[in-house]
Amino acid sequence: MGGDHGHHHYKVPDWKSYKVEDCPKLLKVQQALAQKGLKDPWLRNEAWRFQPAFKTEGYRTRLTLLRGIHWGFGAFLITIALEKLFEKASGGHGHGHH
């Protein structure tokens, strides 16, 4: 428990400084809920995610999807190299093609 574990530490934004009205996507959600007589009191807590300082949704999506790709590609290359070495060490015979 405790410890850093290499995670990034973000300052939690103050929810009072962001408004749903400043975010067109959230405003549409709020209006759609209002048409059905509903209200989401927590919607304002998501407004900070749509601020330019926190990059775009596409940027965050790419960051999430591509996170660790350099390690994965490196492991892929090492696997190919090891496979070639083992193939060479076993006399160059393939995968049992007779």
The residue extents of the domains of the chain are: 10-67, 68-98
Percent share of the chain, pLDDT over 90: 31
Rounded Cα distance, 44 and 23, in Å: 10
Is 55:62 a contact under the CB 8 Å cutoff?
no
CA distances to 22, 48, 74, 89 from 18, rounded to whole Å, are 8, 6, 42, 63
Whether residue 95 is predicted with pLDDT greater than 60 in this model: the reply is: no
Mean pLDDT on 25-40? 93
Q: Which residue has the higher pLDDT, 94 or 50?
A: 50
The whole model's pTM is what? 0.43
Rounded Cα distance, 23 and 31, in Å: 12
